[in-house]
Structure 1
Amino acid sequence: MYKCWHHLGVNNLVVGNVLLNKIFTNYNVIARYMKGEDYLDDAKCKECKYSIVCGGGCPDLRLNNPSSKKNETYCSIFKNNMHSFLDIKYSKL
């Protein structure tokens, strides 16, 4: 198991293995993401009506690209495409 999609295939970022019944094995990685930058500390995320859907975007980008970089965005694709996603979902119903 990995904590983030960006970590797939990176052996030192494995956090567990359900096949071997070892749910959490890499406590350093787990702790890093639990104590990392919280999107609720971000003023833009607090005001955003989509934050409940995206959870502040990619946690890996948030941790490895600090919010001090003003031109960085962590928003998920939902923010600017929510109406399109809802239209597609509705049309399938």
Structure 2
Amino acid sequence: MSRAVSPRGAKHLGLQLVLLRLDTETPAVAVALSEMVFMPLDSERKDIVLQSALPEGEGILIGLLYAGFCGEDHGELFWRRDWRNSLGVVGMEV
């Protein structure tokens, strides 16, 4: 995780895959989510797999990745509001 520029006090990075099916004809939207995976920022890099069911319906399939920084207080994780938290497009299938 040496490339991630984390905010002060962040201890983990949370990652989640969001799959969005957008039908522009009807219009309809369906969403499916993977489990949220938390990676400690001070550990060695490891491979992770984010799995999600495919959203039902017709139309464009859009893959998004949410990445957000978390702090830790007495063993409990909490989200940090920070401009580095992001949701980005990682793929699209028409």
Task: Calculate the TM-score normalised by the size of structure 2.
Answer: 0.23
Select the structure with the greater relative contact order (CA < 8 A; seq sep ≥ 6): 2
Structure with more of its chain in strand, by fraction: 2
Task: Calculate the TM-score normalised by the size of structure 1.
Answer: 0.23
